């Protein structure tokens, strides 16, 4: 007869269901569902790691790749202090708005209701169904400054979005309720666009989306947000902070002489050429989180890896391993990747050069017995496998973090040989 366990077993981090690893795990969760970012990971995974580490209110958790704020949001409603760092100004806004504490929900709901009356009233004066081009010409200065906006939105939907954008920009007050309105508007940009989530990256539909009731989509989003704010009112909470900055410069971004980090729970960009800057272009330009296409290219270049826009020209000039450690870790793989193409070999080199800089900064901000959990996927380049999880562990080992274990959580594209892992490491 099997003996009962005295304690519950640790959460399992191998052979997990897709929903327990990926963004799909947040689509029906309060606040987490406010914005879909396909390469973000599941709140269930963040919570399971917190349980595995036995985290409490005496800890300080860091997510240096905050994204949409999954980790700090999970920690907030577990009563665990947390902070995170995000380089993308739009995603920094998303994480900040999602992790604030909102108490006067009735007042926010009334604010939303009052705005919707104004918005619907304005829409009634716009010929967006039969002559949207006329309105767009009259309001040209309120069209987002993204290249070819008509590629993203059909004219009827763009006219309605321009009306919404104009109303929100012209409002003088900069309150938390106003930020929630802006969050709601940003959340519907893709659902009313010609883009689709058919792949990890956004793709354009073969046929443009017909004119839809943008006000109706927006109002439903606002109603969902109010329901979510009510759902978390009674939960315990701690204050969390989302810092704007680069994870390669953590010691400069986090408060000087601040509290040391006891745990890191994060998921860096995978070495798979996914571009967060490219993926969030409509959002970056909708409320002018970024000023120009050149600035988007610089954002991509400054991020970990980077293969889009300006970053491509940087890679084309050649990138060498920044030290003997990176050269040694990449040696078994980089030659075969070079045979397929120099650009990708340079990309892989830059990616791990950047991770080296990041790991050195983690060492500076962590307390002596800090524990790390890095969620990362491996890659293939011209059919040559790249064990990103093992290379990451080798880099952190150089800075005094020993490897506990690497748990392969799930297969990606079942017959491809790709997988996602969580790399557990510790210091001391």
CATH number, residue 69: 3.40.50.150
- Structural domain range at position 137: 105-231
Does one domain contain both 156 and 210?
A: yes
Does one domain contain both 315 and 393?
A: yes
> Mean pLDDT lowest for which of 215-219, 310-314, 317-321, 372-376?
310-314
Task: Please name the residues in contact with 378: beta carbons below 8 A apart, sequence gap of 6 or more.
Answer: 385, 386, 387, 388, 389, 418, 419, 421
Whether 267 maps to a domain, the answer reads: yes
pTM of the complete model: 0.93
Instruction: Please give the Cα distance from 251 to 278 (Å, whole number).
Output: 27
Whether 3 maps to a domain, the answer reads: no
Distance of CA 124 to the CA centre of its chain: 36
Does one domain contain both 97 and 109?
A: no
55: left (phi over 0), alpha (psi -120 to 50) or beta: beta
**Of the residues 231, 257, 280, the one at which a domain ends:** 231
Task: Count Cβ atoms within 10 A of the Cβ of residue 210 and give its class: 0-12 exposed, 13-18 middle, 19 or more buried.
Answer: exposed
> If pLDDT is split at 50, 70 and 90, which confidence band does 414 have?
low
**Of the residues 200, 231, 262, the one at which a domain ends:** 231
Whether 331 maps to a domain, the answer reads: yes
How high does pLDDT run on average in the chain? Answer: 92
How many domains, in total, are found in the chain? 2
Nearest to 420 by CA among 15, 10, 11, 12: 15
Does one domain contain both 270 and 409?
A: yes
For 103-158, the pLDDT digits (tens) are 999 999 999 999 999 999 999 988 877 789 999 999 999 999 999 999 999 999 99
Does one domain contain both 149 and 184?
A: yes
Distance of CA 315 to the CA centre of its chain: 24
Asked whether the beta carbons of 333 and 349 are under 8 A apart, the reply is no
Query: What order do you get walking across the sheet with 61-63 strand by strand?
Result: 240-244, 82-86, 61-63, 261-266, 366-377, 418-427, 401-412
**Of the residues 231, 255, 287, the one at which a domain ends:** 231
Instruction: Please give the Cα distance from 395 to 324 (Å, whole number).
Output: 11
Whether 9 maps to a domain, the answer reads: no
Instruction: Please give the Cα distance from 145 to 165 (Å, whole number).
Output: 12
For 90-105, the pLDDT digits (tens) are 999 999 999 999 999 9
Whether 6 maps to a domain, the answer reads: no
Sign of the four-CA dihedral 210, 213, 217, 218: positive
pLDDT at site 375: 97
Does one domain contain both 83 and 97?
A: yes
Kind of pairing between the strands at 82-86 and 379-381: unpaired
Does one domain contain both 128 and 226?
A: yes
pLDDT at site 275: 86
Does one domain contain both 241 and 317?
A: yes
Whether 416 maps to a domain, the answer reads: yes
Does one domain contain both 377 and 409?
A: yes
Start-to-end CA span in the chain (Å): 40
222: left (phi over 0), alpha (psi -120 to 50) or beta: alpha
Whether 162 maps to a domain, the answer reads: yes
pLDDT at site 383: 85
Does one domain contain both 140 and 225?
A: yes
Share of the chain above pLDDT 90, in %: 73
Does one domain contain both 63 and 92?
A: yes
Does one domain contain both 181 and 153?
A: yes
Torsion of CA 52, 58, 62, 68, to 10 degrees: 80
Whether 10 maps to a domain, the answer reads: no
């Amino acid at each position: 007869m099997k003996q009962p366990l005295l304690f519950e077993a640790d959460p399992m981090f191998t052979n997990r269901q897709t929903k327990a690893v990926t963004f799909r795990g947040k689509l029906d969760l309060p606040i987490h569902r406010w914005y879909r970012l396909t390469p973000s990971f599941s709140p269930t995974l963040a919570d399971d790691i917190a349980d595995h580490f036995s985290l409490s209110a005496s800890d300080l958790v860091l997510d240096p790749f905050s994204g949409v704020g999954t980790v700090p949001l999970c920690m907030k409603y577990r009563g665990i202090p947390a902070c995170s760092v995000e380089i993308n100004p739009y995603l920094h806004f998303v994480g900040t708005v999602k992790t604030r504490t909102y108490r006067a929900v009735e007042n926010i709901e009334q604010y939303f209701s009052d705005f919707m009356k104004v918005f619907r009233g304005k829409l009634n004066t716009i010929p967006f169904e039969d002559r949207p081009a006329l309105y767009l010409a009259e309001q040209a200065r309120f069209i987002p400054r993204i290249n070819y906006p008509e590629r993203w939105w059909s004219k009827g939907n763009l006219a309605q979005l321009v009306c919404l954008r104009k109303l929100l920009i012209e409002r003088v007050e900069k309150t938390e309720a106003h930020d929630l309105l802006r969050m709601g508007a940003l959340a519907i940009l893709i659902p009313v666009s010609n883009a689709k989530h058919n792949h990890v990256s956004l793709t354009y539909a073969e046929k443009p989306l017909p004119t839809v009731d943008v006000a109706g989509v927006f109002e439903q989003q606002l109603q969902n947000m109010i329901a979510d704010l009510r759902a978390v009112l009674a939960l315990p909470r701690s204050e969390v902070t989302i810092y704007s900055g680069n994870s390669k410069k953590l010691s400069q971004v986090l408060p000087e002489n601040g509290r040391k980090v006891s745990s890191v729970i994060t998921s860096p960009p995978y070495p798979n050429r996914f571009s967060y800057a490219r993926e969030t272009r409509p959002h970056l330009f909708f409320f002018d989180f970024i000023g120009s296409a050149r600035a988007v290219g610089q954002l991509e270049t400054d991020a970990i890896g980077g293969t889009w826009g300006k970053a491509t020209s940087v890679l084309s000039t050649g990138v060498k391993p920044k030290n003997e450690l990176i050269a040694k870790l990449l040696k078994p793989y980089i030659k075969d990747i070079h045979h397929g193409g120099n650009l990708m070999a340079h990309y892989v080199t830059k990616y791990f050069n950047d991770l080296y800089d990041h790991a050195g900064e983690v060492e500076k901000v962590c307390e002596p017995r800090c524990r790390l959990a890095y969620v990362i996927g491996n890659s293939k380049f011209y059919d040559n496998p790249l064990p990103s999880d093992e290379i990451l562990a080798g880099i952190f080992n150089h800075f005094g973090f020993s490897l506990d274990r690497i748990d392969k959580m799930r297969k990606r594209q079942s017959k491809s040989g790709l997988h996602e892992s969580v790399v557990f490491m510790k210091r001391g």
